[in-house]
Every structure is written in structure tokens, then in C-alpha cells.
């Protein structure tokens, strides 16, 4: 059972709380079981046969007292017992909540942590992404199980056991006969809910389909209207509704039979308990007080049995969810393997020596035999077709992926020896499609900092040429990003991502095509502002713009995973090759500066 595994793994730190809940549930149910005994006692007193099934020290209190006083004592005892019982119950609920919420907390935070530390290659696969997305609802299901069903299973079982124990103590024969009905009902409930599995899934599926019909209709209302298909849509909806209602009816038909049956069963058990009680009384095997206590136990043992049966029967649904979560949690994180230990001071020189990279299941390497050395402070432009391996190459610089062959050195040190997080703190990387968090713009730019210095943020926004845009928003830097805030254009997102990277003084800066959605003039402005900064970082820019590449100290052309041309703009333009081809395309009309201006309609 995966769900038990999850429970064991995440109980950490809450074992005492768990033991307390267990102990309390036992005490609580013991006190709960005293009340039927006290009520029985009252009847025993009235019957003139004051012996009862209560512990002898309690019986001793009643001994030799006036009947009215005894009755009053019973009443007081009931209230006192109830007070103890309910106080215990309150504490039990507190400890149970504390335990289960604690487990939920451990599970959620661990899941979050591990997903965030999954290897880059995992996060890049669309399928895994989907799996992880779905696991959010699985986590909720497991949490509901641990917080709701598990405590119910636990306390119902204990209640049944203690009640059964009390009954057996009063009269072994009577109770053995009556209690046979408990495992029968339990088995029926478990079997029933196991079998109903499919009906629940079926109705969920039909409901999902209906929602899809509504959703697709509303998102595609333009298409519906343009084809004047309103009537057709209404029919489609009605059919979906019909199918849903059919499943619902089917489920309710079965459910109502079960509830009708189990309700009838409960009454039948009570009747059995009662009839048997009468027979036992008449035979002299039971006195009236005992019989009353037994009736009350019988009445109160059926409900927990039904609950227990249902919960156990539905266990497999939560277990499936648990299994999916554990599949993700069991993937080793990128820090669990292959992390380095060195934390050298980084100046910014980079050297590739025969570096190759091959994806796990690939036949041919994506990158092969790269030899390149970049001096600290140098600016290098990488240019190449899509899929030529540029991004893979730069992803090695912050160890998002590790090269599979050759040597990659930073300031002469093997990169695999360097601690990953340390390395990433020194290598700034701006992605082509950066992710912004749903917080304010200021918080997004200052995301690496613990406190926000607005002046500093404004100055980096200025360098990234996005300050003006931001200040035009109604709330300026406090504008929220995402669903509840403003929708940013691709270019704005890229510039905010640049600003956030500039906040740190990275010794190595990589722009992974991160100016692609920004127009040429702004691109130039950003690069000029960057050049003016005091600290000179080693800068690597992936671009497809000649205007961007030409300002670099060196241009490196990548083709099919290896370097095909290296040189300055002037050198490469004179040689026959890919760079020159691009150059001539981009300058054919009126020089390079005209290329891609603000007129591109979809930028």
C-alpha cells in the first residue's frame, strides 16, 4: 500500500502526536462506553438489583445509599463522564488534526522541494510536466485521505473493538451471537464500495465530458455563432446531459439500494439484539440493567461499522493517487547525484575541451567536440539554426545539463567539481521564454533578494529598457504579473527577466535568445547600457540578429552541434559561409538597422 508508505515516510516529527491521538482515542472510547453502562445502572437501581457491569470501585460509591440519591449519582456520573469524554474528544481531534495536517505539510513541502530539484532534463519533457500537473489533485486526494478517512478508520475501529469488549464482558453468549452481524455488515460494505468504484469513475467521467461541452462551446462561441450552429450545440449539450443523468441515475439506484439495505440491516440488528435480550432476561441470563446497556451498545456499534466498511472499500482510490505521487517523489533530484563540492572564486574564463553531449536515449550526440576558450570579460555571440545545439551548449555553463564527454573548465577548474548552486549564483542566465512569478513586477525583478530596494530595481529596469513600460502601468512597479494582474507582452517579459538577472553581479552572463521579442533599437539600447556598466562580465549572447552579433568581440557559428566559424564580424563577413549568408539577407534592403522594427504586428 503506497498510502501507508506515504504515511510512514511523512509521519516524521509527529510520532508523539500520533501516539497521543492513539492513546486518546482509546481512552475517549472507553469513557464513551461507560455511558450505556451508567444508563444500565439506573435501570438496575430501579429494578432493585443494583449490581452492574461498571468497575467495582464505581459500584462501591452507590453501595448502601438511598435510591433517589443513587439515581442522582447516576445522572451526575453521566454528565461527568460526558465532560471527560468530550474533553478527551476535543484533545483527540486536536492531536489528530495536528498529526494529519503535519503529514500533509511534510508531504506537500517535500513534494514541492523535490519537484523543484528534479533534473532539468525531466522538467523539459512535456509528459513529465503533465504528470506533475496532475499530481496536484492527487496530493489533495491523499491529503483528504490522511486528514479525513484515516482518522475515521482509526477511531471507528477502536470504537467497535471497545464496544464489543464491553458487550462480551457483560454477556459472552449474547454478545457473540449479536456481534456476528458486525463483520457481515463490514464485509458487505467493503465489497459494495469496491465494486462501486467504476460507477464513481463513470459519473466523474460523464460530468467531465459535460463540462468539456460547455467549456468548448463558450470558448468557441465565435465558431458556433459564425456557423449558426446554436441549435446543434444545444442538442450536443442535451445529449451530454442525458448521458450524465443516466450515469447519475445508475449510481443513485445502486446507492439507494445500499443505503436502504444497510439502514434496514441496522434496524434488523437492533431487533435481533432486543429479541435476544428478552429471551435472555426471561431465561434469567441477563438482568434488566445489563440488557439495557447491551441494547445501547448494539444501537451504537452499527454506524461505525458502516463508516469503516465504506472507508476501507474506497481505499484503492486514494492509493492510486498515492502511487502517482510516489512515482514523482522517487525520482532522484539533480543534487542527489553528480553535485560538486568546490566553491572557487569565479573570474569568468571558460574553456571547452573536446566537449560533447548526448541525451540519454539519443543515438548521435547533440554537441560534439567543441573546443573553445573564452577570456574573462569577453563578449561572444552564438549564432546558429534552430536545433543546432546553441541552447544545449550554454545549458552546460550552469550545469542545467552536464556534458557527457571532454572537459569543461571555468577559470581552469573542472565544472563538474563545482557545486551546482554555487555555480548558478555566479552564472546568470536569461531564458528565451522566461517565467515570471505571480507577484508584483518589483518583486519579480528583486526575486533573488531578500529585501527590495526600489531604487536599485528601477536602475536595472532602466538598463533593461523596461522602466518606461512599467511606469506606464497604473500601479507601476507594484503591478501584479499574471492572471490577477497585467498581461505582459513577450518583449516585456524578456526585459523584466533581463533586469532581474542584472540585479546580481554575475561574472558570466548568458542571454539565451532572450532579446528575440525585443525590437532592434531596444536591443541595441540594452546592449549599450550593459557595456557601460562598471563590472565587465563574460557575456554570451545567443541571437539570430546580425546587428546584435556584430558588436560582440567574437562570433561563433554553430552548425549541427559543432563550431563551423569563429571570428569577428569583419572577418566572418569576408568569408563564404553561413554568417555571410545571414548578413546579406538581413541587409538587403537598407542596411542592418532597418531589420525588425516596431512594425512587426505580432511582436
Q: Which of residues 66-95 bind another protein (CB under 8 A)?
A: 67-68, 71-72, 74-76, 78-79, 81-83, 85-87, 89-90, 93-94
Minimal distance in Å, beta carbon 389 to another protein?
13
Grid coordinates of 410: 571555468
Minimal distance in Å, beta carbon 67 to another protein?
6
Q: Which of residues 450-469 bind another protein (CB under 8 A)?
A: 450
Applying CB under 8 A, which part among 8-16, 172-180, 349-357, 494-502 lies near another protein?
494-502
Q: Which of residues 148-167 bind another protein (CB under 8 A)?
A: none
Closer residue to another protein, CB minimum distance, 118 or 454: 118
Closer residue to another protein, CB minimum distance, 1 or 129: 129
CA distances from 327 to 22, 281, 331, 555 (A): 30, 60, 7, 44
Question: CA-CA distance, 350 to 540, in Å (whole number)?
Answer: 11
Closer residue to another protein, CB minimum distance, 343 or 373: 343
Does 537 help bind another protein (rule: CB under 8 A)? no
Does 263 help bind another protein (rule: CB under 8 A)? yes
> Do 294 and 37 form a contact (C-beta atoms < 8 A)?
no
Grid coordinates of 251: 449510481
Closer residue to another protein, CB minimum distance, 87 or 505: 87
Q: Which residues contact 100 (CB under 8 A, 6 or more apart)?
A: 146, 147, 150, 151
| Residue whose C-alpha is closest to residue 400's, from 20, 113, 122 | 122
First to last CA, the chain: 52
Minimal distance in Å, beta carbon 153 to another protein?
17
Applying CB under 8 A, which part among 19-27, 112-120, 346-354, 460-468 lies near another protein?
112-120
| Strand ranges for 443-537 from DSSP E | 508-512
Does 591 help bind another protein (rule: CB under 8 A)? no
Decide: helix, strand or coil at residue 103.
helix
Strands 379-384, 538-542: pairing kind:
parallel
Dihedral sign (CA 542, 548, 553, 557):
positive
Decide: helix, strand or coil at residue 419.
coil
Question: CA-CA distance, 596 to 576, in Å (whole number)?
Answer: 25
Closer residue to another protein, CB minimum distance, 364 or 532: 364
| Among residues 275, 359, 417, 574, the one that binds another protein under rule CB under 8 A | 275
| Among residues 102, 304, 322, 446, the one that binds another protein under rule CB under 8 A | 102
Q: How many CB atoms lie within 10 A of CB 230?
A: 12
Does 129 help bind another protein (rule: CB under 8 A)? yes
Closer residue to another protein, CB minimum distance, 111 or 357: 111
Burial annotation 530-539 (CB, 10 A radius, 16+ → b, else e): beeeeeebbb
Minimal distance in Å, beta carbon 74 to another protein?
6
Burial annotation 545-574 (CB, 10 A radius, 16+ → b, else e): bbbbbbebebbbbbeebebebebebeebbe
Closer residue to another protein, CB minimum distance, 38 or 477: 38
Does 359 help bind another protein (rule: CB under 8 A)? no
Closer residue to another protein, CB minimum distance, 281 or 353: 281
Q: Which of residues 384-443 bind another protein (CB under 8 A)?
A: 385-387, 398, 400, 421, 424-425, 428-429, 431, 434-435, 437-438
| Among residues 20, 52, 104, 527, the one that binds another protein under rule CB under 8 A | 104
Minimal distance in Å, beta carbon 493 to another protein?
11
Q: Which of residues 199-218 bind another protein (CB under 8 A)?
A: 209-218
Applying CB under 8 A, which part among 153-161, 236-244, 356-364, 525-533 lies near another protein?
236-244
Does 550 help bind another protein (rule: CB under 8 A)? no
| Among residues 12, 197, 225, 533, the one that binds another protein under rule CB under 8 A | 225
Question: CA-CA distance, 376 to 539, in Å (whole number)?
Answer: 9
Minimal distance in Å, beta carbon 459 to another protein?
19
Q: How many helices (H) and strands (E) does the chain have?
A: 23, 10
Q: Which of residues 289-328 bind another protein (CB under 8 A)?
A: 292, 295
CA distances from 563 to 167, 364, 408, 556, 560 (A): 85, 16, 16, 7, 8
Q: Which of residues 1-60 bind another protein (CB under 8 A)?
A: 35, 38-39, 42-43, 45-47
Minimal distance in Å, beta carbon 411 to another protein?
19
Does 562 help bind another protein (rule: CB under 8 A)? no
> Which H or E run contains 587?
helix 578-587
| Among residues 26, 288, 566, 573, the one that binds another protein under rule CB under 8 A | 288
Alpha helices in 314-403 (DSSP H): 315-329, 390-395
Minimal distance in Å, beta carbon 354 to another protein?
26
Minimal distance in Å, beta carbon 79 to another protein?
5
Question: CA-CA distance, 365 to 277, in Å (whole number)?
Answer: 83
| Among residues 451, 474, 487, 601, the one that binds another protein under rule CB under 8 A | 601
| Residue whose C-alpha is closest to residue 296's, from 578, 562, 580, 42 | 42
Amino acid at each position: 500500500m503506497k498510502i501507508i508508505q506515504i504515511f510512514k515516510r511523512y509521519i516524521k516529527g509527529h510520532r508523539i502526536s500520533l501516539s497521543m491521538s492513539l492513546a486518546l482515542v482509546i481512552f475517549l472510547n472507553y469513557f464513551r462506553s461507560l455511558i450505556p453502562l451508567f444508563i444500565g445502572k439506573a435501570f438496575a437501581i430501579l429494578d432493585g438489583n443494583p449490581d452492574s457491569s461498571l468497575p467495582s470501585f464505581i459500584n462501591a460509591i452507590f453501595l448502601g445509599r438511598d435510591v433517589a440519591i443513587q439515581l442522582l449519582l447516576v445522572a451526575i456520573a453521566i454528565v461527568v463522564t460526558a465532560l471527560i469524554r468530550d474533553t478527551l474528544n476535543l484533545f483527540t481531534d486536536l492531536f489528530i488534526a495536528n498529526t494529519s495536517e503535519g503529514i500533509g505539510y511534510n508531504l506537500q513541502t517535500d513534494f514541492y522541494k523535490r519537484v523543484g530539484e528534479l533534473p532539468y532534463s525531466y522538467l523539459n519533457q512535456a509528459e513529465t510536466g503533465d504528470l506533475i500537473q496532475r499530481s496536484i489533485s492527487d496530493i489533495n486526494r491523499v491529503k483528504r485521505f490522511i486528514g479525513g478517512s484515516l482518522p475515521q478508520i482509526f477511531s471507528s475501529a477502536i470504537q467497535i473493538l471497545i464496544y464489543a469488549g464491553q458487550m462480551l464482558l457483560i454477556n459472552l453468549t449474547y454478545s457473540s451471537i449479536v456481534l456476528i452481524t458486525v463483520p457481515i455488515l463490514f464485509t458487505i460494505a467493503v465489497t459494495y464500495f469496491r465494486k462501486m468504484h467504476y460507477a464513481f469513475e463513470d459519473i466523474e467521467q460523464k460530468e467531465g465530458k459535460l463540462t468539456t461541452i460547455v467549456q468548448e462551446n463558450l470558448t468557441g462561441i465565435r465558431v458556433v455563432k459564425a456557423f449558426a450552429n446554436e441549435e446543434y450545440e444545444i442538442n450536443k449539450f442535451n445529449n451530454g446531459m442525458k448521458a450524465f443523468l443516466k450515469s447519475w441515475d445508475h449510481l443513485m439506484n445502486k446507492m439507494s439500494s445500499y443505503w436502504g439495505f444497510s439502514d434496514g440491516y441496522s434496524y434488523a440488528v437492533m431487533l435481533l439484539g432486543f429479541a435476544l435480550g428478552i429471551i435472555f432476561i426471561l431465561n434469567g441470563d441477563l438482568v434488566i440493567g445489563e440488557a439495557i446497556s447491551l441494547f445501547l451498545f448494539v444501537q451504537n456499534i452499527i454506524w461505525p461499522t458502516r463508516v469503516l466498511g465504506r472507508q476501507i472499500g474506497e481505499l484503492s482510490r486514494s492509493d492510486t493517487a498515492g502511487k502517482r505521487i510516489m512515482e514523482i517523489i522517487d525520482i532522484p533530484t539533480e543534487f542527489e547525484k553528480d553535485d560538486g563540492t568546490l566553491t572557487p572564486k569565479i573570474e569568468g574564463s571558460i574553456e571547452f575541451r573536446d566537449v560533447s553531449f548526448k541525451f540519454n536515449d539519443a543515438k548521435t550526440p547533440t554537441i560534439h567536440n567543441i573546443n573553445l576558450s573564452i577570456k574573462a570579460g569577453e563578449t561572444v555571440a552564438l549564432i546558429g539554426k534552430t536545433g543546432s545545439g546553441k541552447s544545449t551548449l550554454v545549458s552546460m555553463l550552469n550545469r542545467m545539463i552536464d556534458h557527457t564527454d571532454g572537459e569543461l573548465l571555468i577559470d581552469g577548474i573542472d565544472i563538474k567539481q563545482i557545486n551546482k548552486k554555487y555555480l548558478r549564483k555566479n552564472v546568470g542566465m536569461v531564458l528565451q521564454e522566461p517565467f515570471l512569478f505571480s507577484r508584483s513586477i518589483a518583486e519579480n525583478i528583486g526575486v533573488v533578494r531578500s529585501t527590495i530596494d526600489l531604487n536599485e530595481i528601477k536602475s536595472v529596469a532602466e538598463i533593461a529598457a523596461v522602466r518606461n513600460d512599467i511606469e506606464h502601468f497604473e500601479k507601476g512597479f507594484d503591478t501584479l504579473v499574471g492572471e490577477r494582474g497585467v498581461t505582459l507582452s513577450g518583449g516585456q517579459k524578456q526585459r523584466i527577466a533581463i533586469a532581474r538577472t542584472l540585479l546580481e553581479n554575475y561574472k558570466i552572463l548568458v542571454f539565451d535568445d532572450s532579446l528575440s521579442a525585443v525590437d532592434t533599437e531596444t536591443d541595441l539600447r540594452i546592449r549599450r547600457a550593459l557595456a557601460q556598466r562598471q563590472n565587465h562580465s563574460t557575456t554570451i549572447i545567443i541571437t539570430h540578429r546580425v546587428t546584435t552579433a556584430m558588436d560582440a568581440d567574437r562570433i561563433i557559428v554553430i552548425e549541427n552541434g559543432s563550431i563551423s566559424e569563429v571570428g569577428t564580424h569583419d572577418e566572418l563577413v569576408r568569408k563564404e559561409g553561413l554568417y555571410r549568408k545571414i548578413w546579406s539577407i538581413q541587409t538587403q534592403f537598407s542596411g542592418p538597422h532597418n531589420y525588425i522594427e516596431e512594425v512587426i504586428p505580432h511582436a
